[in-house]
Amino acid sequence: MPSSFLGLEGLHVFITGAAGGIGSQAVREFLDQGCKVTAHDLRPIQLQASSDPARLYTLTGDISDEESIQSCMEQARKRFGPINILIANAGITDESNAYPIWDLPLDVWEKTYRTNIRGTFLTIKHFLRCARAAQEAQGGAELENLAIVVTGSETGKFGQAGHAEYASGKAGLQYGLVRGLKNEIVRLNRNARINAVAPGWVDTPMIEGRLDDPRELWAEAQATVPLRKIAKPEDVARAMAFLASHRAAGHISGECLSVDGGMEGRLIWRENEVVKTSPDNASNKDTLSGGRPETGLQTIPRSVPRPTRNKIRVAISIDLDAVSGWLGTGYSPENILADYSAGFFAARVGVPRLLKMLKKVGLADRVTWFIPGHSAESFPDEVRQVVESGCEIGLHGYAHEGAYSLTVQQERDVLEKCIEIATRLTGKKPVGYRAPLYQVRESTLDLLEEYGFEYGASVYTSPIDASLTDHDCHPFFAPRRPPLQPIDYSKPASSWMHPVPSSSSSSSNQHDRRPLVEVPCNWYMEDMTPMQFLPHVPNSHGYVDVRVVEQLWRDRFLWIRDNETDEEDAVFPMLMHPDTSGMAHIIGMVERMIRWLQEWEAAGEVVFARRARLQGGGGRGIDKT
């Protein structure tokens, strides 16, 4: 016979979001009920001094990462045995912002859904897989008290203006998922149940400061709530324990239990949105309203004007290194046939794939291809397809030579040869240049300036290069400064303890600027270094999840959008290689990233531009270096 009303003693409970206000209280509640508890969160969980370490196990992991949550479930099983109860509580929201859906950033929507929906799905999936394995291990005998409690929200019941991403996800969980899953889990365990709790406002750190204003407290948590108060975390935790108990709630499944004080709904219009009070009339006692200030009804509240942003110019470029990459800067005496084969893949497979993808997204003629002369002459059919796409063609050395390996005369010979090849290909002189492996030196800049890669339109009169990174999101004029000298430790320290020349450290000295516009370019803007394994290059990786790079690029774009668009020349470069982005597991991410940027274009905040169209703001950009 159970020793308590709920009869949960000895059962193993797995709780996600255990570091939060509701989650930590749920841990305490189930420990008080005599359960063994595995507490899981993305953040470290602080053990309570009074907690029994023999019955509490803490795990750190990401519920939205399938391998992580699967591993955590297995660790919990090894610690306390089969898991009987899952409290799928983890979830996120941002109460500091309230976006109408037409202003809701896609990254906010996706971040919320990744944790709240994807994370809950993966948690339930692997809880049930663990239950199935445990039952199979004990000869098919069903686990006792197999139950799931999902944390929903009253926003899923009533909605919440400004938080469509949170409310829609919670509604899907507490109504769609719970009611569908109740019909599935009984096939795994005849008595298995799933329910949800839908809290209203709960006094947790998640809403800290949100209801400090008495008027906001009244509007959100009192005006439509009979109990006129905010719930405590223990109110929700006890409802979870009740629904988890087969003894107390064994004939309840597929239901959503509101823990909201009897909430009837939400206020749609606030007083200041509907009633307009005239200060001049406030003191006039001779009004038709019997001495009250005159009021005027507004049927639609005035919208708050959005801050003006200058458009970010997205510059997509592709380096068609192919085999040349293995001959120049990528040469190693240990290079083998398999390495060179990757160069043939780049030209014969990667190029057609990228062209097809760029045509599909409508950007084939708005990108720049930097093509080494060796690639142009070795793969004429593929390069012809590139030229016919209508794109811009820039130079990229002949055999991907590093400038520091060449004499100045060799640099000149290579540049002249490549100008000849590109002119023959396109019928016009090339206008852009990127140094192979970004190995540009002072003599390189001298040559580019001498050969004056001027643009055809009269408004564009500066040569352009894409090799330096004095700035990371604004074009700038290439510097004219002496080479920096390395320290010679064989000499007295006084010989090297000098700053850079004063002109080199100033961005305002017009005499130290070249008439050469630099479009920012660095390792964080490209695909190859993190996502392609080059056996004899020390800084290549190749096994980085594409989503890591995608998120890095998105984070960079969003920061630029929020902090650098006060000037007109903000740029967002994306650098690709057919060797890398042409691979099957990467090209889909690249397309997804481009389509995400196109959503910002549709919102009027982005324009896709060739590199030739980025240099007009170079004078503005140099002031920021």
Contacts of 103 by beta carbon, 8 Å cutoff, 6+ apart: 306
Q: Where are the domains of the chain?
A: 12-271, 312-481+512-608
Q: What is the pLDDT of residues 351-378, one digit of tens each?
A: 999 999 999 999 999 999 999 999 999 9
Pairing of strands 606-608, 312-319: parallel
Backbone φ, ψ for residue 57 (5° rounding):
-130, 130
- Which helix (H) or strand (E) is 41 found in, with range? strand 36-41
- Give me the pLDDT at residue 507, please: 52
Virtual torsion, Cα 24, 29, 33, 35, nearest 10 deg: -20
- The pLDDT of residue 414 is above 80: yes
DSSP 490: T
- Give me the pLDDT at residue 439, please: 84
CA 560/CA 19 separation, integer angstroms: 32
Considering the chain, what percentage of its residues have pLDDT values greater than 70?
83
Secondary structure of residue 56 in the 3-state scheme:
strand
DSSP 522: -
Q: Please, are residues 531 and 477 in contact by the beta-carbon 8 Å criterion?
A: no
Q: Please, are residues 534 and 540 in contact by the beta-carbon 8 Å criterion?
A: yes
Amino acid at 62: D
Q: For the residues 484-502, what does the mean pLDDT come to?
A: 88
The CATH superfamily holding the domain 312-481+512-608 is Glycoside hydrolase/deacetylase (3.20.20.370)
Q: DSSP for 361-405?
A: TT-GGG-EEEE-HHHHHH-HHHHHHHHHTT-EEEE--SS---GGG
- Give me the pLDDT at residue 619, please: 36
How is domain 12-271 classified at the CATH fold level?
Answer: Rossmann fold (3.40.50)
- Give me the pLDDT at residue 326, please: 82
Secondary structure of residue 321 in the 3-state scheme:
coil
- Give me the pLDDT at residue 246, please: 97
- The pLDDT of residue 234 is above 80: yes
- Give me the pLDDT at residue 50, please: 54
Q: What is the mean pLDDT of the chain?
A: 84
- Give me the pLDDT at residue 69, please: 97
- Give me the pLDDT at residue 308, please: 67
Q: For the residues 106-132, what does the mean pLDDT come to?
A: 96
- Give me the pLDDT at residue 45, please: 84
Q: Which tops the pLDDT comparison, 356 or 461?
A: 356
Contacts of 10 by beta carbon, 8 Å cutoff, 6+ apart: 34, 35, 36
- Give me the pLDDT at residue 52, please: 74
- The pLDDT of residue 222 is above 80: no
CA 156/CA 578 separation, integer angstroms: 45
- Give me the pLDDT at residue 463, please: 40
| HEC sequence for 436-486 | HHHCCCHHHHHHHHHHCCCCCCCCCCCCEECCCCCCCCCCEEEECCCCCCC
Confidence of residue 546 (pLDDT cuts 50, 70, 90): very high
HSE-up of 14 (CA within 13 Å, CB side)? 33
Task: Decide: pTM greater than 0.85.
Answer: no
- Give me the pLDDT at residue 501, please: 75
- The pLDDT of residue 269 is above 50: yes
Q: Please, are residues 15 and 30 in contact by the beta-carbon 8 Å criterion?
A: yes
CA 515/CA 619 separation, integer angstroms: 10
Rounded alpha-carbon distances, angstroms, from residue 393 to 297, 362, 428, 429: 61, 18, 10, 10
Q: What is the pLDDT of residues 162-192, one digit of tens each?
A: 899 999 999 999 999 999 999 999 999 999 9
Which of 432-441, 555-564, 615-624 is the least confident region? 615-624
- The pLDDT of residue 598 is above 90: yes
Confidence of residue 556 (pLDDT cuts 50, 70, 90): very high
Closest Cα partner for 246 from 148, 392, 318? Answer: 148
Amino acid at 418: C
- Give me the pLDDT at residue 378, please: 96
CA 577/CA 317 separation, integer angstroms: 9
Considering the chain, what percentage of its residues have pLDDT values greater than 90?
55
Which of 21-35, 54-68, 422-436, 442-456 is the least confident region? 442-456
- The pLDDT of residue 83 is above 90: yes
- The pLDDT of residue 436 is above 80: yes
Q: What is the pLDDT of residues 572-585, one digit of tens each?
A: 999 999 999 999 99
CA 203/CA 449 separation, integer angstroms: 65
Q: What is the pLDDT of residues 130-168, one digit of tens each?
A: 999 999 999 999 999 999 999 999 989 988 888 999 999
- Give me the pLDDT at residue 205, please: 67
Q: Which tops the pLDDT comparison, 528 or 352?
A: 352
CA 521/CA 471 separation, integer angstroms: 9
- The pLDDT of residue 464 is above 90: no
- Give me the pLDDT at residue 319, please: 95
Secondary structure of residue 615 in the 3-state scheme:
helix
Amino acid at 445: L
- Give me the pLDDT at residue 298, please: 45
Q: Please, are residues 344 and 322 in contact by the beta-carbon 8 Å criterion?
A: yes
Amino acid at 329: T
- Give me the pLDDT at residue 277, please: 44
Q: Please, are residues 197 and 154 in contact by the beta-carbon 8 Å criterion?
A: no
Confidence of residue 459 (pLDDT cuts 50, 70, 90): very low
Q: What is the pLDDT of residues 16-47, one digit of tens each?
A: 999 989 999 999 999 999 999 999 999 888 76
Q: For the residues 438-457, what does the mean pLDDT come to?
A: 72
CA 16/CA 41 separation, integer angstroms: 6
Angle of the 584-602 helix axis to the 546-563 helix axis, nearest 10: 20
Confidence of residue 503 (pLDDT cuts 50, 70, 90): low
Residue with tokens 């053990």: 47
Secondary structure of residue 592 in the 3-state scheme:
helix
Q: For the residues 427-434, what does the mean pLDDT come to?
A: 89
Give the tokens for residue 425. Answer: 């290909």
Contacts of 88 by beta carbon, 8 Å cutoff, 6+ apart: 16, 120, 123, 124, 127, 148, 149, 150, 151
